[in-house]
Amino acid sequence: MLRRDPQDRHYAFYRALCGHEVRRQFGSVLRVARGEFGPECEACQEARDREDARARGWDLVGADPKGKADYRIYCHADGCGALSRITRGNMVTGRFTCPGCGAGWSTEPSYLYAMRFELQPGKHAVKLGYSRIPESRLNYQLHRDPELPRELLCKVPMRTGRHAQRIEKRAHKWLATQHPGMELPHSEFAAYLRVKSEVYRAELEPVILRLLDRIARKEARAATKSFARQRSRSKRMRDS
């Protein structure tokens, strides 16, 4: 504590561990001392928000004009330049769409992925899905406990999120037909994961990885053909 706030007897100024000076209510400091939540520094949080935004190709503009603590105003600096009101959490995970150019999960490149989760010691489960940022799904969105052992086994590039969604549905349909009864009941993983379906028994992991490998080879061939067609069209246009 540095000094009391002469304007409000309920507040004082403190030196945070990071070295910045912060103004806090006495009650809030007591709650931090009891471990109810961690100490926060506005200057350090703003610096983190700026770094998170730049990692996604956006710039932090300022606080939310509606006063919501979890929202910020950002500018799509590496895109169309549009301004958007986005939650800090969604900026970290990338789960938002630009209102100006429409860049988002459906139009941007995506991935199919396979992830392994250790639900209990010696009991694993495999999740097959799609995401624009599989690492974000793994680290922030799927688990209920951040200490849950988990691993990203494989990811296959897809040209768009919509295409990834279509291929993923075909993959689940194939697995249900060829390997019935291998999908885990929701009751067996509900306490660990924030999804309701499309989680498989550990025995199916090699099958899923082989399936993703086949899909990857097919996508690579399609991309090669598409590139060749584009080069051919460009050559015809130059010759004409």
Q: What are the structure tokens assigned to 125, written together? A: 């489960």
The per-residue pLDDT for range 118-134, each reduced to its tens digit, is 999 999 999 999 988 89
Residue 226 scores a pLDDT above 90: no
How far is Cα 154 from Cα 209, in angstroms, rounded to an integer? 7
Q: What are the structure tokens assigned to 124, written together? A: 């694993």
Confidence of residue 3 (pLDDT cuts 50, 70, 90): very high
How far is Cα 213 from Cα 215, in angstroms, rounded to an integer? 5
CA nearest neighbour of 99 among 113, 79, 116: 79
Q: Are 47 and 72 in contact (CB under 8 A)?
A: no
The per-residue pLDDT for range 5-53, each reduced to its tens digit, is 999 999 999 998 888 888 888 888 888 888 777 667 888 888 889 998 9
Q: What is the DSSP pairing of strand 110-120 with strand 21-25?
A: unpaired
The per-residue pLDDT for range 174-194, each reduced to its tens digit, is 999 999 999 999 999 999 998
Output the pLDDT for position 105. 65
CA nearest neighbour of 140 among 148, 62, 126, 215: 148
Dihedral angle of Cα 82, 45, 110, 231, to the nearest 10 degrees? 50
Q: What are the structure tokens assigned to 176, written together? A: 């249900």
Q: Is 183 helix (H, G, I), strand (E, B) or coil?
A: strand
CA nearest neighbour of 218 among 152, 151, 162, 171: 171
Residues composing the chain: 240
Half-sphere exposure of 98 (CA within 13 A, CB side): 21
How far is Cα 231 from Cα 72, in angstroms, rounded to an integer? 43
In whole angstroms, how far apart are CA 215 and each of 55, 77, 154, 182? 29, 34, 12, 20
Whole-number average pLDDT of the chain: 89
How far is Cα 149 from Cα 119, in angstroms, rounded to an integer? 8
Q: Are 108 and 160 in contact (CB under 8 A)?
A: yes
The per-residue pLDDT for range 75-115, each reduced to its tens digit, is 998 888 899 999 998 888 777 888 888 766 677 889 999 99
Residue 240 scores a pLDDT above 70: no
Output the pLDDT for position 143. 92
Output the pLDDT for position 218. 94
